[in-house]
Structure formats: C-alpha cells, structure tokens
Amino acid sequence: MNIFFYIAATVAIISTIMAISGRNAIHALLFLILSFLAISVVFYLLDAPFIAALEVIIYAGAIMVLFIFVTMMLNVGLERKMENKWLNPRMWIVPGLLAAILLFDLILALKVSRTIPVGNQVIQPKQVGISLFSTYLLAVEMTAILLMTGVIGAYHLGSQKKKVMHRFLEKKIKTC
C-alpha cells in the first residue's frame, strides 16, 4: 500500500519536472498526462476511487486532449529563440526566490500542523454526489453558472453569421 503510494508519487514528481523542463511541447504535454495519471493512482490509493476516475476522465482524457490538439495545430517546437530570450536567468530569479520562500513556508506549515489521518473506509461515488448536492450545493451551482457563461461565450464566438452576399461582392461594395 505504502510502497505503491511512493512509486506513484515519485512518478508524478519526475514526470512533472520533465513536463516543465521539456523542450518539445508535445513531449512535455505527454509527461503532464503521465503526471495526472500518477496523481489519479495516488487518489485511488487514498480510498477515493471516484475522484481518481474523474481525474483520468476529465483532466487526462478531455482537457489534455484539447491542449495537445491546439499544440498540434500550432506546430511549435522549431523556434526556440523567443523561448531562450524569455528563459534567461534574470527574468526568473525573482519569481524563483519568491516560490522558494513559499515552499519553505509550506514545509514549515506541514511540519507544525497536525495531519489528518486518512480514513480507512472507501469513499463511494454516492457519498461524493450527496455531499456535492447538499453541503456544497451553492458552490456547485455557481460553478455551473460560470461554465454556462463559458458555453454561451464559446457559442457566440463560434457561431457563423449567415452571409447574404458573396465575399467578392462585399469587397467590391466596400471599395466603392
């Protein structure tokens, strides 16, 4: 049980490091997917199979496909000049320092605060559903509204306006 957790966690860490340090965009995304899969294994080992499955279906399965889709279309990977300019040490030394302070803070906080032991009973999908629609109902509904705005916005941007006139004729009228 424990050994599986450590294996999955190590895989997650290594693949995340590979994802942020990789040169090839698609390879980096593949490592990110691997990291998601490893995290879902961790969830499963923590007796939360429903969240583990959702992690795979939604993050690894749906969202990352869209990422790969876009990266695929952009055909990046050849032009590194811009990236090198962005990645010169002076640019990230301040954010790096700040992040290091945060990490230190986090480690301290974890050390000081007592950890909650993981319950041994498996969290069934039903329990997740019940708590989503009772305790967290407001949050769920607000998220739903947020997503709805996204859907409407996407529909508005994506909808094609019906053209009455052929585009050549339109140009002519504009130039006249």
Partner 1 sequence: MKEALNIAGVLFIALTIAAGLIWVERRLLSVWQDRLGPNRVGPFGLFQVIADTIKLFFKEDWVPSFSDRPVFIMAPGILIITILLTFAVIPFGPDFIVFDSNIGILFFLGNSSLGVYSIVLGGWASNNKYSLIGAMRASAQMLTYEVFMGLSLMGVVMMADSFSFNAIVEAQKGGWFIVPQFIGFIVFFIAGLAETHRLPFDIPESEGELVAGYHSEYSGMKFGMFFVGEYLGITLISALIATLFFGGWLGPSFLPPVFWFLLKTFFFICMFILLRASLPRPRYDQLMKFGWKVLLPLSLGNILITGAVLIFFK
Instruction: State the residues that interact with partner 1 by CB under 8 A.
Output: 24, 26-27, 30, 33, 49-50, 52-54, 56-57, 60-62, 65-66, 68-69, 72-73, 122, 124-125
The least CB distance from residue 125 to partner 1, in Å, is 6
Residue in the structure block whose two tokens are 């585009």: 167
The least CB distance from residue 109 to partner 1, in Å, is 33
Evaluated on CA atoms 41, 47, 49, 54, the torsion sign reads negative
Return the number of the residue (89 or 119) whose C-beta is nearest partner 1.
Answer: 119
Nearest to 34 by CA among 4, 51, 55, 48: 55
Evaluated on CA atoms 36, 142, 70, 25, the torsion sign reads negative
The least CB distance from residue 161 to partner 1, in Å, is 16
Amino acid, single-letter form, for residue 130? I
How many CB atoms within 10 Å of residue 15?
21
The least CB distance from residue 66 to partner 1, in Å, is 7
Alpha-carbon distance of 157 to 3, in angstroms, equals 49
